[in-house]
């Protein structure tokens, strides 16, 4: 039996198009057809050194160590499905998708962003078809569907509320309106708890359970657009009700309450807010009247780090500093507006000009 691959993996995801209708119209024939479908797909996957790690209904999830093997398996499966003499039912149309990315294998299953994205898309499609049975993913709307799932961070409630809007909006228009997601994503089931009827109400419920210091830290962390280290959070966010000595414990509480995500990169813990949660905390920070001050605090921290790094980039410690900057790359902080803080115009020009952290690949944490 093949072993599940690890590291950089290519996944093959499949399902039968229109299977709900087929089960309603041909229940007996579908029982037989599904057994044959499963056998053909499993044979194609295993013949190309793949590993079937999950089946859900008529959906297959398989993993491959090489992208070429996954593609060959998909082609072989489609040819076998077309050649099959289906009895008492039209030939099955099986949708297939390939995706390559990092995932963690555990007990024969996989976990990580690659899988989460697939599950998010499947959930959105299922909920969209529940409210609009004619909804189908096409070459034209597929990028918008993926954009919706990514922007909503795969949050099930957010996806369900978004899918409910396909009755009145195309997915392309829906994706365009997600910048205003807290007003757009309302109208959940009237039988659900109030906190499950709108996206904002769901996060409100979690936020209201936080202590005052936790709420303050949660708000301030919204200035980090892509992630941060503990060092950055302690340096930038301490002050007032957030005592410097309490930073780690408060951050741990936010992680425990699922408002902050934590992951390890090369042995160093890094933290981030899902974008939907970050936009919510940003609204709270803006409402507090302190947003500009905390953005300047963040800009000052990374300016100092950039200035510290600059002379080292041409010295014997170059590789260590490049690595330090590399793990922080891609999350450039927002530029504070010149004059946003009294007497800070010169600093604003300094941050936005030649010494801008983004110019040496530096970003939050």
Q: Looking at residue 149, which CATH number applies to its domain?
A: 3.30.70.1230
In DSSP terms, 351 is beta-bridged to none
* Alpha carbons 211 and 351: distance in angstroms, whole number: 34
User: Would you state the pLDDT for residue 195?
Assistant: 52
Is the separation of the CB atoms in 217 and 247 below 8 Å? Answer: yes
Report the distance separating Cα 28 and Cα 62, nearest Å.
Answer: 27
The answer for residues whose C-beta is within 8 angstroms of residue 69's C-beta and 6 or more apart is 10, 48, 49, 50
- Please state, in angstroms and as integers, the Cα–Cα distance from residue 44 to each residue in 49, 76, 79, 115, following that order: 9, 6, 10, 21
Please report, in tens digits, the pLDDT of each residue of the chain (365 residues total): 567 888 889 999 998 988 888 888 899 999 999 999 999 999 999 999 999 998 888 889 999 999 999 999 999 999 999 999 998 888 999 989 888 888 877 777 887 766 777 788 888 988 888 888 888 887 788 889 988 988 888 888 888 888 888 988 999 999 999 888 888 887 655 444 455 557 888 888 889 999 999 999 999 999 998 789 898 999 999 999 999 999 999 999 999 988 998 887 767 788 999 888 999 999 999 999 999 999 999 888 888 888 888 888 888 888 888 777 666 543 444 444 444 444 333 333 333 333 333 333 333 33
What per-residue confidence (pLDDT) applies to 194? 52
Whether residue 263 sits in one domain with residue 145: no
CB 10 within 8 A of CB 27: no
Amino acid 35: pLDDT: 94
Pull the structure tokens for residue 206. Answer: 């979690």
What pLDDT is attached to residue 221? 96
- Identify the pLDDT of residue 363: 33
Q: Which residues span the domain enclosing 27?
A: 7-184
CATH code of 221's domain: 1.10.10.10
Residue recorded with tokens 């070429």: 68
On whether the CB atoms of residues 9 and 64 are closer than 8 A, the answer is: yes
What integer pLDDT is reported at residue 331 of this predicted model? 47
**Do 64 and 125 share a domain, yes or no?**
yes
| Domains of the chain: total | 2
Based on C-alpha coordinates, what's the Rg of the chain?
A: 25
Burial class (CB in 10 A: 0-12, 13-18, 19+), 27: exposed
Residue 198 domain flag = no
Has residue 200 been placed in a domain? no
Name the residue among 312, 335, 333, 332 with its Cα closest to residue 324.
Answer: 312
Domain match, 12 and 104 both: yes
Q: Where a domain ends, among 167, 184, 201?
A: 184
Please report whether residue 190 resides in a domain. no
pLDDT at position 355: 34
- What's the pLDDT at 247? 92
Answer for the pair 234, 247: CB distance below 8 angstroms, yes or no.
Answer: yes
**Do 63 and 130 reside in the same domain of the chain?**
yes
* 197 within a domain of the structure (yes/no): no
Can you give the pTM of this predicted structure? 0.59
Q: Which helix (H) or strand (E) holds 345?
A: helix 345-352
Q: How far apart are CA 274 and CA 156, in angstroms?
A: 13
Query: Which pLDDT belongs to residue 348?
Result: 31
pLDDT given for residue 63 in this prediction:
93
Q: Tell which residue, 61, 79, 59, 46, has the closest CA to residue 9.
A: 61
Number of other CB atoms surrounding residue 355 within 10 Å: 15
CA 200/CA 185 separation, integer angstroms: 8
Termini Cα distance of the chain: 44
């Amino acid at each position: 039996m093949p072993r599940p691959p690890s590291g950089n993996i290519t996944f093959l995801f499949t399902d039968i198009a229109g299977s709900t209708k087929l089960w309603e119209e041909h229940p007996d024939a579908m029982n037989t057809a599904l057994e044959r479908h499963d056998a053909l797909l499993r044979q194609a996957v295993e013949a190309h050194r793949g590993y079937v790690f999950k089946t859900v209904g008529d959906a297959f999830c398989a993993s491959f160590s090489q992208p070429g093997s996954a593609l060959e398996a998909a082609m072989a499966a489609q040819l076998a499905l077309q050649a099959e003499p289906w009895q008492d039912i039209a030939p099955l149309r099986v949708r297939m998708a390939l995706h390559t990315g990092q995932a963690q294998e555990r007990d024969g299953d996989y976990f990580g962003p690659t899988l989460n994205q697939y599950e998010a898309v499947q959930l959105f499609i299922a909920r969209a078809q529940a409210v609009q049975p004619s909804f189908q993913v096409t070459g034209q709307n597929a990028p918008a569907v993926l954009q919706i799932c990514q922007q909503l961070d795969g949050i099930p409630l957010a996806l369900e509320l978004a899918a409910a809007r396909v009755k009145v909006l195309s997915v392309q228009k829906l994706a365009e309106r997600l910048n205003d997601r807290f007003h757009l994503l309302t109208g959940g089931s009237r039988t659900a708890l109030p906190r499950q009827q709108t996206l904002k109400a769901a996060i409100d419920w979690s936020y209201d359970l936080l202590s005052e210091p936790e709420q303050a830290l949660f708000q301030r962390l919204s200035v980090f657009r892509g992630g941060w280290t503990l060092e950055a959070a302690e340096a930038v966010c301490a002050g007032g009700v957030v005592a410097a000595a309490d930073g780690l414990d408060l951050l741990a509480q936010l992680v425990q309450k699922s408002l902050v995500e934590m992951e390890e990169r090369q042995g160093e813990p890094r933290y981030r807010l899902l974008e939907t949660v970050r936009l919510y905390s940003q609204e709270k920070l803006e409402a507090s009247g302190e947003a500009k001050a905390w953005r300047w605090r963040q800009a000052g921290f990374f300016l100092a780090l950039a200035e510290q790094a600059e002379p080292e980039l041409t010295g014997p410690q170059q590789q260590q500093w490049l690595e330090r900057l590399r793990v922080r790359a891609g999350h450039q902080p927002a530029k504070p507006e010149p004059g946003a803080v009294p007497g800070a115009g010169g600093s604003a020009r300094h941050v936005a000009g030649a010494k801008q952290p983004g110019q040496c690949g530096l970003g939050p944490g």
